Structure 1
Amino acid sequence: MNKNIAIILGAGKGSRMKLGYNKQFLELRDEPIIVRNIRTFENHCEINGIYIVSSKEEIDKFNKLIEKYNFKKVRGIIEGGKERADSVLNGLRGIEQCNIVLIHDGARPFVSENIISEGIKYAKKYRAAAPGVKVKDTIKQINEDGFSIGTVDREVLISIQTPQCFQYEDILKAHEFAKKNDIILTDDTSAIETLGIHSYIYSGDYNNIKITTAEDIAIAEKILEN
Structure 2
Amino acid sequence: MSHKEYALIVAGGKGTRIKSKLPKQFLALHGKPVLLHTIEAFYRYSPDINIILVLPEDDFPIWNSICEQFHFTQPILLQTGGETRFQSVKKGLELITGDGLVAIHDGVRPLVSEDIIGASFRLAAVHQSAVAAVRLKESIRMTDQDNTKAMDRSRFRIIQTPQTFEVNLIKKAYQMKEDTSLTDDASVAERSGHLISLFEGSYENLKITTAEDLIIAEALMSNRNKKG
Instruction: Confirm or deny a common fold (TM above 0.5).
Output: yes
What 5-or-longer segments of structure 1 have no aligned partner? none
Alignment TM-score, normalising by the size of structure 2: 0.91
Q: Helix, strand or coil: the match of 1:101?
A: strand
Q: Which whole-Å CA distance do the structure 2 matches of 1:191 and 1:138 have between them?
A: 28
Q: How do 1:154-165 residues align onto structure 2 when only pairs under 5 Å count?
A: 154-165=153-164
Give per-residue Cα distances to partners, 1:160-193, cap 9 Å, x unaligned.
11010000011111111133xx464210000100
Following superposition, the deviation at residue 2 of structure 1 comes to: 2.2
Q: Residue 185 of structure 1 is aligned with which of 182, 185, 188?
A: 182
**Is the deviation greater in 66-75 or in 22-31?**
66-75
Counterpart in the other structure of 1:3: 4
Q: Which whole-Å CA distance do the structure 1 matches of 2:154 and 2:48 have between them?
A: 33
Q: Helix, strand or coil: the match of 2:145?
A: coil
Counterpart in the other structure of 2:218: 221
Say if 1:11 and 1:142 are closer, same or farther in 2 by CA, change over 3 A: closer
Following superposition, the deviation at residue 64 of structure 1 comes to: 3.1
Following superposition, the deviation at residue 221 of structure 1 comes to: 1.8
Give per-residue Cα distances to partners, 1:45-94, cap 9 Å, x unaligned.
27521111000101122133234444454331100011111110011112
Q: Helix, strand or coil: the match of 1:206?
A: coil
Q: How do 1:1-226 residues align onto structure 2 when only pairs under 5 Å count?
A: 2-45=3-46, 47-145=48-146, 147-148=147-148, 150-179=149-178, 182=179, 184-226=181-223
Q: Which whole-Å CA distance do the structure 1 matches of 2:64 and 2:172 have between them?
A: 29
Q: Which amino acid aligns with 2:118?
A: S
Give per-residue Cα distances to partners, 1:29-51, cap 9 Å, x unaligned.
22110110111111222752111
Kindly indicate whether the alpha-carbon contact (under 8 Å) linking 1:51 and 1:74 is maintained by their aligned counterparts in 2: no
Structure 1 segments of 4+ aligned residues over 6 angstroms from their partners: none
Q: Which whole-Å CA distance do the structure 2 matches of 1:42 and 1:138 have between them?
A: 37
Say if 1:159 and 1:106 are closer, same or farther in 2 by CA, change over 3 A: same
Alignment TM-score, normalising by the size of structure 1: 0.92
Q: Which whole-Å CA distance do the structure 2 matches of 1:91 and 1:221 have between them?
A: 29
**Is the deviation greater in 2-11 or in 64-73?**
64-73
Kindly indicate whether the alpha-carbon contact (under 8 Å) linking 2:30 and 2:222 is maintained by their aligned counterparts in 1: no
Q: Which amino acid aligns with 1:13?
A: K
Matched residues, percent identical?
36
Q: Which amino acid aligns with 1:106?
A: G
